[in-house]
A and B are shown apart, each in its own frame.
Chain A
Amino acid sequence: MQKDTKALKTLTVMVMAVAFLLTLSVSQVFSASDKLKEGRKICTTRKLGNCVSCHYLPDVESPGNVGPNLVEVMKHFTEADRDIVRQWVYDARKFNPDTIMPPFGPNKILTPEQIEAVVDYLYSLKKTTK
């Protein structure tokens, strides 16, 4: 009898742990895709980043052509270049003092979290075939 209860207890704990881990990873997957969605939204919304006013991004109606195609751009960046990509979005003047790209960071157009979401989204473009 006692043995049984103990076994049951252990089982419950195990089940709970597995369930906990499962929800954890599921929510992580969820929040990662949420963040990508958020990044994409920032890029395609006029009042936010509005990257598509100048750059090509997949599945966007009539993107602008002032800047380079961002899918092509991301082919040239590896994970190791994350700081460079972030800097481009944060303040492109570091690379081109007379750039047309708005200084999203210093001019407080986007928050650091929003910029991070944009960078995540840009890296997800490496998997795009278009």
Chain B
Amino acid sequence: MHGKIMKLLLCLAILLVPITFSKIVKAGDDIKEYTPNCTYEEYEKIYLNFYGNSTQEMAEEGNPAELMLDDGEDLYHKVEGTKGKSCASCHGENGEKLRGVAAHYPKYDPTIKGINTIALQINRCRKDKMGAKPLKYESYDQLALTLYVKSLSNGVPINVSIDGPARKFYEEGKRLYYTRMGQWNFNCAICHVKYACKRVRTNLLSPNRHHGDHWPSYRLKWGKAGSIQRRIRGCMKNMRAKPFKYQSEEIRALELYLTYQSNGLPLEVPGMRM
């Protein structure tokens, strides 16, 4: 008799342990946030001192990704797939109905019960609404369309919501931002919050305030434009960690967390970076 009760209690305990444990590890509120080492204004001054204004001058000469944006506009109006539609069929000529929309992305979507990104939504529209093949993430056409759709919100202050069901994913993004990864055992926040404005050899550590407001960006190191997810994966490789897959739940949570840090700043794509 006693044995049975004990067994039952043991089973209960075993069931409860992972629940409470995952709560402790997962809840973002338990994370001890770092105090930012510098403001963005201080960063800009240090940047100018350290690198000079070469990137600024280059940006003034023109961003090579503008060409990609133009191609994105063409693609937006191009009929593709089995249903004989283009993006414009639903969203209006010249993206009329998409103005300001991207400023709210990434955002929670009840259909996928997760975080939706512009790149993901483009592929969902192609598949479900156009009967067209999804575009490979980070391919020219996928980036071009993302760039065009986001450019329709250029100048609009970023306004990402983390209310309601989005909260959980935001907390997950924050948890990942503070999780030690890879052989070097870094986390994102230690470089971009705690030691922001310090130098790692010839790389200045950027505070994360502006990390979400300019992607896709042209990057000199890549010699082409890329998404914020490519940039995050790059940092993960530097940490000697296995990068999260494009549009995986983890990387979308990180994108949400980062874009929320840029709330209030006007969206400005394509950006340009070293």
- Judge if B195 is at the interface, Cβ distance under 8 Å: yes
- Judge if B201 is at the interface, Cβ distance under 8 Å: yes
Which residues of chain A come closer than 8 Å to B201, judged between CB atoms? 52-53, 62-64
- Judge if B183 is at the interface, Cβ distance under 8 Å: yes
Q: How far is the CA of A107 from the CA of B185 in the complex (A)?
A: 8
Q: How far is the CA of A66 from the CA of B195 in the complex (A)?
A: 7
Which residues of chain A come closer than 8 Å to B194, judged between CB atoms? 100
Q: How far is the CA of A107 from the CA of B183 in the complex (A)?
A: 6
A102 near B200 (CB under 8 angstroms)?
no
Question: Given A102-B184, A107-B183 in contact, is the A64-B190 Cβ separation under 8 Å?
Answer: no
How many Å from the CB of B201 to the closest CB on chain A?
A: 5
B198 near A65 (CB under 8 angstroms)?
yes
Which residues of chain B come closer than 8 Å to A52, judged between CB atoms? 201
B198 near A62 (CB under 8 angstroms)?
no
B200 near A66 (CB under 8 angstroms)?
yes
Which residues of chain A come closer than 8 Å to B199, judged between CB atoms? 62, 64-66
- Judge if A74 is at the interface, Cβ distance under 8 Å: no
Name 15 interchain pairs, CB-CB below 8 A, sorted by A: A62-B199, A62-B201, A62-B202, A64-B198, A65-B199, A66-B205, A100-B186, A100-B195, A102-B183, A102-B184, A102-B185, A103-B185, A107-B184, A108-B183, A109-B183
Most buried by A among B190, B191, B198, B200: B200
Most buried by B among A54, A62, A100: A100
Taking CB atoms and an 8 Å cut-off, the chain B residues in 65-118 that contact chain A are none
Find B198's partner among A66, A108, A109 (CB 8 Å cutoff).
A66
Q: What string of 1s and 0s marks CB contacts (under 8 Å) between A31-71 and chain B?
A: 00000000000000000000011100000001111100000
Q: How far is the CA of A64 from the CA of B185 in the complex (A)?
A: 18
**How many residue pairs, one in A and one in B, have C-beta atoms under 8 Å apart?**
35
Q: How far is the CA of A119 from the CA of B125 in the complex (A)?
A: 59
Q: How far is the CA of A59 from the CA of B190 in the complex (A)?
A: 27
Q: How far is the CA of A54 from the CA of B200 in the complex (A)?
A: 5
Question: Given A100-B190, A100-B194, A100-B195 in contact, is the A53-B200 Cβ separation under 8 Å?
Answer: yes
The residues of B with any CB-CB pair to A shorter than 8 Å are 183-186, 190-191, 194-195, 198-202, 205
Q: How many residues of A contact B (CB 8 A)?
A: 14
How many Å from the CB of A121 to the closest CB on chain B?
A: 18
Q: How far is the CA of A65 from the CA of B50 in the complex (A)?
A: 13
How many Å from the CB of A103 to the closest CB on chain B?
A: 6
Q: How far is the CA of A54 from the CA of B195 in the complex (A)?
A: 11
A102-B186, A107-B184, A108-B183 given; name 17 further pairs at CB < 8 Å.
A53-B200, A62-B199, A62-B201, A63-B201, A64-B201, A65-B198, A65-B199, A66-B198, A66-B199, A66-B205, A100-B186, A100-B195, A102-B183, A102-B185, A103-B185, A107-B183, A109-B183
Which residues of chain A come closer than 8 Å to B183, judged between CB atoms? 102, 107-109
Q: How far is the CA of A65 from the CA of B46 in the complex (A)?
A: 13
How many Å from the CB of B51 to the closest CB on chain A?
A: 12
Which residues of chain B come closer than 8 Å to A102, judged between CB atoms? 183-186
Taking CB atoms and an 8 Å cut-off, the chain A residues in 63-108 that contact chain B are 63-66, 100, 102-103, 107-108
How many Å from the CB of B274 to the closest CB on chain A?
A: 15
Q: How far is the CA of A53 from the CA of B200 in the complex (A)?
A: 5
Q: Which are the 4 A-B pairs with shortest beta-carbon distances?
A: A102-B184, A53-B201, A66-B198, A64-B200
